[in-house]
Amino acid sequence: MAPSPDSAVLLDGLGKRFRLTHDRNWTLKATVLAGHRTRYEEFWALRGIDLDIPHGSTFGIIGGNGSGKSTLLKMLAGILRPDEGAATVNGRLSALLELGAGFHPELTGRENVYLNGAILGFTSKEIRRRFDDIVGFAELDRFIDEPVRNYSSGMYVRLGFSVAIHVEPEILLVDEVLAVGDHTFQKRCLDRFAQLKAEGRTIILVSHDLDMVGWLCEQTAWIQQGTLRAVGPSPNVIERFLDGAGDSPTPVAPSPSAPRRFGGLGPDDLVRAVDLVDANGHPMDRVGSGRPVRFRVRVDADQVGEPVTVALGLYRADGTHVASINSGAAARAADEAGTVEVDYAVDSLAVQPGIYELSVALHDATMRRVFERHTHLVRFEVEPTGVDQQNGLVALGGTWSARSVDR
């Protein structure tokens, strides 16, 4: 990969090897007795990663559990040393791998701000100048001289986040940290990211939350089993990720032609059923192009126990993303008890005839946490309804007319 002066981060064939020690109790004696014979197995957690992340970009990294995302982030942060290839970082980097990792429980919030700031590479003078901002952002003015062991986990995280973003990094690494904190704080964190982005700083975000990655990041890399599977504009990569692997750690061969009608729901799933129904609630398995339809999702509300947001994704059989809709606050299941039916009523399904697939996801009320995601759960046919010759993605539903303009 050609080095570019605009690169904030340049990875060239990056690889990391871990040792699996079979006997964890290896001691000095054992090593002396065993001499140089190694008693561990090696495996590559990450290999052959080439990436060029330009300055000022917001870059997402997605992948299943154990795919190597965090290993990659730790190498960028300098915590782990690569065993192969090189990672070049141009600019001051701050890593939010765990908020408040450097806090000492017995010290006060104030003392910890200075300590954590120093760990992140700040001088005490620089911290003193930003101290009020840090405390203000964390909303801890009254508690700053209390030992942090008395803090709630929310307060702890707020202070950690506040210190980390006030060090004014040129490159910010974020690992799944927004999964904590309450809704308003998350909102402010996102605002702060947007602000950092506007200031031209580089943000690298590792997350399971595809919606957030899609919303925040222009470019995304998908890592699977330690190798780079795809990199490019976020919507494309996320789509390939959903098609190819879903949330399972092993890649599933994409087979868009296989019939998967109403299948794929287990007995423990929160989503009980997904149906297409007409205005009277009668199930249908085909819809006329431009005709009304209701997408009905049945959710086991008792099992969730908190308000959920339902999100629907409509895809053409060839994988083209047609539309995504989420219920927002409008139709929150689990405000009720038992099984709840959430309907999304469409007056006119304005798509071209063909085979379509519906994906369903359940989020918490803030849309930051995914409870379940069922990709391409329902397959259905959209029938032609007119005699018009049409092609493309949408059915515009217009009418033709002709009249003479010759006077």
What is the contact surface with other proteins in residues (CB under 8 A)? 18-19, 27-29, 31, 74, 77-81, 95, 97-98, 101-102, 104, 106-107, 111, 114-115, 118-124, 147
In whole angstroms, give the CA distance from residue 346 to residue 302: 28
Question: Minimum distance from CB of 330 to other proteins (Å)?
Answer: 40
Helix (H) or strand (E) holding 214: helix 210-216
Q: In this complex, which beta carbon is closest to other proteins, that of residue 29 or of residue 282?
A: 29
Minimum CB distance to other proteins smaller for 27 or for 257: 27
For 231, half-sphere exposure in the C-beta direction (CA atoms, 13 angstrom radius) is 12
229 - beta bridge partners? none
Determine phi and psi for 146, rounding to 5 degrees: -95, 150
Residue reference for tokens 């999304």: 344
In the complex, least distance from residue 42 CB atom to other proteins, rounded to whole angstroms = 12
Going 111 to 117 to 118 to 122, the CA torsion angle's sign is negative
| Dist. CA 57–CA 86, nearest whole Å | 21
Residue 251 DSSP label = P
Q: Which is nearer to other proteins, 135 or 148 (CB)?
A: 148
* CB closer to other proteins, 12 vs 111: 111
Which C-beta is closer to other proteins: that of 25 or that of 248? Answer: 25
Q: How far is the CB of 279 from other proteins (least distance, A)?
A: 55
Give 71 or 359: the residue with its C-beta nearer to other proteins: 71
Residue from 124, 117, 91, 113 nearest 196 by CA: 91
Work out the end-to-end distance of the chain between its first and last CA atoms, rounded to an integer number of angstroms.
67
In angstroms, what is the minimal distance from the CB of 31 to other proteins?
Answer: 7
Q: In the complex, what is the shortest distance from the CB of residue 97 to other proteins, in angstroms, rounded to a whole number?
A: 5
The distance of closest approach from Cβ of residue 111 to other proteins in the complex, given in angstroms and rounded to an integer, is: 6
Name the burial class of residue 338, with classes exposed (0-12), middle (13-18) and buried (19+) by CB atoms within 10 angstroms of its CB: exposed
Find where tokens 């007409």 sit: 278
CB of 107 to other proteins, least distance (A): 6
Query: Toward other proteins, which CB reaches closer, 102 or 246?
Result: 102
Rounded Cα gap, residues 330 and 310, in angstroms: 10
